[in-house]
């Protein structure tokens, strides 16, 4: 009887251990796995409505939770704000500042011509669509830097549906968007391209995205 009781007690203990193992909480480092691709998207989304960043063109790179900010900002205040916004995100372990302070690209005459052309284009958009970006409340101009961050912000909105596990690099030059990196499916690829094409100010989209195996 004593032997049988010992076997039964052991078997019951093993069963309880297995059941508890299935429902035990994950280790602290695994409770919320925040991937680098998601952090790139999230940090960029923070920049969209920041008027102080108007004229900025910032690249965000993330490796193992360490964020590196590269590119240009128009002032020291813009640099400080970009760093502050990057640091506050969950999953960010450190922020490396490689930003440079530089005025908007091009000569004064070129910038004036660009602003005039942009103003005329926005006026045309407003006449065609009252909900166009020209009527938005934020004072940040539609330039390459804004377009980049805006695309990422829209990707974030679709992250839990089709774009999760994506690792997309958005590059914008003279309103032409180039998409590099990986997505998990054809549906995700099509969605990423469609979002970029529909973004205010985008003239063309070059699709270099690859579907990850």
pLDDT digits (tens, 9 = 90+) for 29-57: 333 467 899 999 999 999 999 999 999 99
- Would you say the C-alpha torsion 178, 81, 143, 199 has a positive or negative sign? positive
Residue 193 has pLDDT above 90, yes or no: yes
Pick 36-211's CATH classification: 3.40.1520.20, 3.40.430.10, 2.60.120.10, 3.90.550.10. 3.40.1520.20
Rounded to 5 degrees, φ, ψ at 98 are -120, 25
> Is-above-0.85 flag for pTM?
no
Alpha carbon distance 146, 49 (integer Å): 9
Q: Taking 80 as the threshold, does the pLDDT of residue 77 lie above it?
A: yes
The span from the CA of 137 to the CA of 32, in Å, is 35
Per-residue confidence at 170, pLDDT binned at 50, 70, 90?
very high
Q: What is the mean pLDDT of residues 151-165?
A: 88
Of the candidate ranges 2-11, 160-169, 201-210, the one whose mean pLDDT is the lowest: 2-11
- Cα(54)–Cα(47) distance, integer angstroms: 9
> Rounded to an integer, what is the distance from CA 45 to the centroid of its chain?
5
| Contact indicator for 66, 55 with CB cutoff of 8 Å | no
Task: List the beta bridge partners of residue 67.
Answer: 62, 95
Gap between the terminal Cα atoms of the chain: 58
- Tell which wins on pLDDT, 50 or 11: 50
For residues 67 and 82, is the Cβ–Cβ distance under 8 A? no
pLDDT at 64 over 90: yes
Q: In which band, very low, low, confident or very high, does the pLDDT at 137 lie, cut at 50, 70 and 90? A: very low
Parse the chain into domains and list their residue ranges.
Answer: 36-211
pLDDT band at 19 (very low <50, low <70, confident <90, very high): very low
């Amino acid at each position: 009887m004593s032997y049988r009781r010992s076997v039964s007690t052991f078997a019951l203990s093993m069963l309880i251990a297995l059941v508890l193992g299935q429902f035990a909480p994950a280790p602290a480092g695994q409770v919320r796995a925040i991937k680098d691709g998601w952090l790139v998207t999230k940090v960029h989304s923070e920049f969209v409505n920041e008027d102080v960043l108007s004229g900025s063109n910032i690249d965000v790179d993330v490796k193992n939770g360490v964020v590196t900010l590269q590119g240009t900002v128009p002032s020291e205040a813009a640099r400080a704000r970009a760093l502050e916004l990057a640091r506050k995100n969950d999953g960010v372990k450190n922020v490396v500042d490689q930003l440079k302070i530089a005025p908007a690209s091009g000569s004064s005459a070129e910038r004036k011509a660009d602003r005039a052309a942009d103003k005329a284009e926005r006026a045309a958009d407003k006449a065609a669509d009252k909900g166009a970006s020209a009527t938005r409340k934020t004072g940040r101009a539609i330039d390459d830097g804004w377009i980049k961050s805006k695309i990422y912000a829209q990707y974030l909105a679709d992250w839990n549906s089709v774009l999760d596990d994506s690792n997309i690099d958005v590059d914008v030059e003279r309103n032409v968007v180039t998409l590099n990196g990986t997505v998990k499916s054809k549906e995700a690829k099509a969605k990423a391209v469609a979002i970029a094409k529909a973004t205010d100010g985008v003239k063309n989209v070059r699709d270099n995205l690859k579907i990850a195996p």
